[in-house]
Amino acid sequence: MGATLTLGVVTGSVHTGLQVADLDRSLDFYVGLLGLELRSRHVADAPYLGELVGYPGVELDVAFLDIPGSEHWLELLEYRKVERQAVDPANANPGTAHICFTVTDLVALHDRLERAGVEFISRPVMPTAGINQGRLALYMKDPDGIRVELLQLERVDL
């Protein structure tokens, strides 16, 4: 019996892209505070990009970040040479998103991030139901208000 070729299906995930107002400020947050690792950074303005993203003439300041312990990358993009408008990235608004990073010692990390001036949606909370029951999680905002969830996978007893 021959192998069956399946066409047109999702086979994996490479990266998640976030549009940011100021790439340097976002790198300070994601690399400097959260510990992601800068894989590469470049400015891109090839004509195909304008067609791909729907903004002819766009220039993108792009950084790819490695997420420790993951094959998935975080892509940060600062759009230039096009009109931009901030959106309200609050959790309940359709079309918004959040990204979740796994961490160790969420309480200590929360304390360090709080001292650095990070804005939080919640303190560390222990889910009482679902797949994360007994773990710790919190929501916070990146410099553009994008929601970031931190999840401690090791279960805790409080």
Sketch the domain layout of the chain as residue ranges.
14-81, 96-158
- CATH code of 14-81, in short, is 3.10.180.10
Nearest to 136 by CA among 110, 118, 97: 110
pTM of the model: 0.92
- pLDDT tens digit sequence for 66-75: 999 999 999 9
Distances (CA, A) of 137 to 20, 46, 85: 24, 40, 30
Q: Name the CATH superfamily, with its identifier, for domain 96-158.
A: 2,3-Dihydroxybiphenyl 1,2-Dioxygenase, domain 1 (3.10.180.10)
- pLDDT tens digit sequence for 31-55: 999 999 999 999 999 999 999 999 9
